Structure formats: C-alpha cells, structure tokens
Structure 1
Amino acid sequence: MAPNFLGTDELNENDMLMEELPPEAALDGPPPDLDHLLQRTLGTVREERYQAVRRRGRITALSSTLVVAGVLAGGVWLGQGMGVGGTESVDALLQGTSSSGARMAVQVTDTEGGLKLVATVHGMQDGEACWLVVHTKDGRTFTAGSWRAHGGEVTLAGSAMVRAGDVTGVSVVDHDRLPLVTAN
C-alpha cells in the first residue's frame, strides 16, 4: 500500500480554513490602488495635525492677549485708585514748622473710602517713634500712619476714614501723643 500524505481529515480541515478567510485573501498581491489609498490616508493625517497645531496656536495667542489686556486693565484700575491716573485733585496742602525746626508738608486728597494723605516730614529726632494723626473739626483724631524717624526726610502715605473738608490739621506725635510738628 502507498503512503497517504494527505488524509481525508486533513483535506477537510484545509477546506474549513479556506471558508473562514475573506474573499480579499484570495487576491494575488495588494490592491492596485494601494499607493493612492496610502497617500490619501497620510494626507488626511497631515491635514488634521496641521489644523490641530493652528487651533492650538490660535488658542495660545488669544489667551496671551487676554492675559496682557487683563494686566494692563488691572494696572490702570490700580493706578486710578492710587491717584496715579491724575483724576483725583489734591483738596488741601497743609504745612507746618515746629519750634525745634521740624518741618512737615501734607497733601490731603478726598477718595471714595475716606482721606488719603501724603506727608513729607523732616527734622525728627533719629530713632523717634512717630505717628501721623489727623485732627477733625469735631475734635476727633485718626491715626493715619506710623514710622521710626531717622536723620533725613521721610515721605509717608496714610489714610483715614474722614472727609477732607472735616480736617483741621495733621500732626506728627511722639510715643506720649505729644505733638512734634503740626500742619494746618
């Protein structure tokens, strides 16, 4: 008897495997338009990536512009609140000299929240604890700032919850609340 290289069972198994394959598997070689399909697919991927990069660039530019605009608007707003914008006018300029030779000049400006003071004081004793005090028509006093004096001139900004029209004077007082110099 001759040897049986392929048995019936093996042929049936091969037939079953062939039935499971899609018809495209029986083609000889790749489809003829494969290069065109590959080029179209790569072109689509490139275009989508280009659009994503452009979109990201636009978002970055827009957000940067908004941040810069916000910073500028905040600076303008803060500048106006501090009187830098020039919209506030100085309501009073008070000056005074003490018998010991200390001098003081104070700009008084009315603001929405009360009173803003910019005082320039010269001639305080080195190391002296000083308080800037606002005096009103009805006898009240408001502390607007404090510092420790040194040998030179000091410019100090302060504020008080009172209207500029109610101010009768501004003093620099010592630790015992004795006036060192007063500007009227």
Structure 2
Amino acid sequence: MSASFRVTVSPNELNENDMLMEELPPEAALDGPPPDMDHLLQRTLGTVREERHQAVRRRGRITALSSTLVVAGVLAGGVWLGQGMGVGGTENADALLQGTSPAGARMAVQVTETEGGLKLVATVDGMQDGEACWLVVHTKDGRTFTAGSWRAHGGEVTLAGSAMVRAGDVAGVSVVNHDRQPLVTAQ
C-alpha cells in the first residue's frame, strides 16, 4: 500500500515565510561562521586598540603642550611684573657711603635710587650692646628722614631701609641713638 500525502500551503503562509526570511541578515543563511572569522576579529580588535592608543597619545601631547604654555605664561608674567616693580636691574646703584666713628663704630651704606625714593642697605658694626639705633638720611638742605631702626647687639648687623628723597639730595647717612646723637656717619 502506498500512501501519498498531499501538502497544501495557503498563500498567506507563503507570504509569512517570505517576510521571516527578509528579516534575517544574509549571514544567517550560511552554514556556520565564515572561514576567516578569527582573522577578521583579530583585525577589528587590532584597529580598535590602535585607535585607542593614538587617542591616548594625542591627549598626552595636548596636556603636555598646555602645561608648557601655562608655565611659560607664569614665568613671562613674573619677569614682566618683576621689572615693573623695580626687581632685576631696574634700580640704579648710586653710591656706597662709608664712615667710622672715633669710638670704633663702622658703617657702610649702599644707596640705590628707585622710582619712589631711596633704598638703603646698611651694614653697621661696633654699636654698644642694647643701644636703640635709628638709621637717618641727611639731605643737603638740612632735612632728615628716618629709614629704619633696631636694637644693637654685639656684632655686625645688616638692615634695609628706605626714604622718600632723591639720591642727588643725600648729604650723608647716620646711625643715631635715642637722644638723636650721631653714633657713626657715612658720607
């Protein structure tokens, strides 16, 4: 006995089957993965790694360049600001005044003219220990300007002071005591 089967497929079922086949990518119809899949995967991963490495290097270069520009800007600003404030050679060293007293006190004063007056750096030695001292600038027209003060101790002392007078008007610089008596004068 032979059996025969007859299969009937409606047109709607064929349309559904066609629609399902259209949704699948062409790779799904292949039997197994493509033969060069490992090579393709390795190439893709290598490309991704190289692009990431280049991006990291590019960021590093940008960071280094930015840091260099910031440091250069800070240094340039410091030099400009320093020149504007009288630092770095914009002052004129006018004179080195020296003097010795009969009691053996010695003084040397570096007088430097600045935009606002004088800068004085005095080195004094031989003052009596504990003596209250004032550094005084004398002008040619008889005026006096106090440029600094300190209490003497045994040994040499160096101090900085300033006075609002022009270097050309200075007649001398003295160290005076509490009674305004000169202890040593440099001219």
Compared with structure 1, are the counterparts of its residues 81 and 134 closer, same or farther at alpha carbon in structure 2 (3 Å cutoff)?
farther
Higher mean alpha-carbon deviation, 66-75 vs 89-98, is at: 66-75
TM-score (norm 2): 0.66
Question: Which runs of no fewer than 5 residues in structure 2 stay unpaired?
Answer: 1-8
Aligned-pair distance for 1:158?
A: 2.3
Question: Which runs of no fewer than 5 residues in structure 1 stay unpaired?
Answer: 5-9
Aligned-pair distance for 1:107?
A: 1.4
Aligned-pair distance for 1:172?
A: 1.7
Q: What are the superposed Cα offsets for residues 51-90 of structure 1, whole Å, 9 maximum, x if unpaired?
A: 2343344345435545665676578668878988567553
Rounded to whole Å, the distance in 1 between the matches of 2:23 and 2:119 is 91
User: What does 1:74-89 correspond to in 2, within 5 Å?
Assistant: 88-89=91-92
Please state whether the residue corresponding to 1:119 is helix, strand or coil: strand
Count of residues paired in the alignment: 179
Dislocated runs of 4+, deviation >6 Å:
1-4, 10-20, 74-84
Higher mean alpha-carbon deviation, 143-152 vs 33-42, is at: 33-42
Q: What are the superposed Cα offsets for residues 73-111 of structure 1, whole Å, 9 maximum, x if unpaired?
A: 578668878988567553122122223321111111212
Rounded to whole Å, the distance in 2 between the matches of 1:156 and 1:78 is 25
Question: Which structure has the larger Rg over C-alpha atoms?
Answer: 2
Compared with structure 1, are the counterparts of its residues 41 and 158 closer, same or farther at alpha carbon in structure 2 (3 Å cutoff)?
farther
Aligned-pair distance for 1:21?
A: 5.6
Aligned-pair distance for 1:164?
A: 0.7
Rounded to whole Å, the distance in 2 between the matches of 1:36 and 1:153 is 85
Aligned-CA RMSD value: 5.0
Rounded to whole Å, the distance in 1 between the matches of 2:10 and 2:39 is 53
Rounded to whole Å, the distance in 1 between the matches of 2:89 and 2:117 is 18
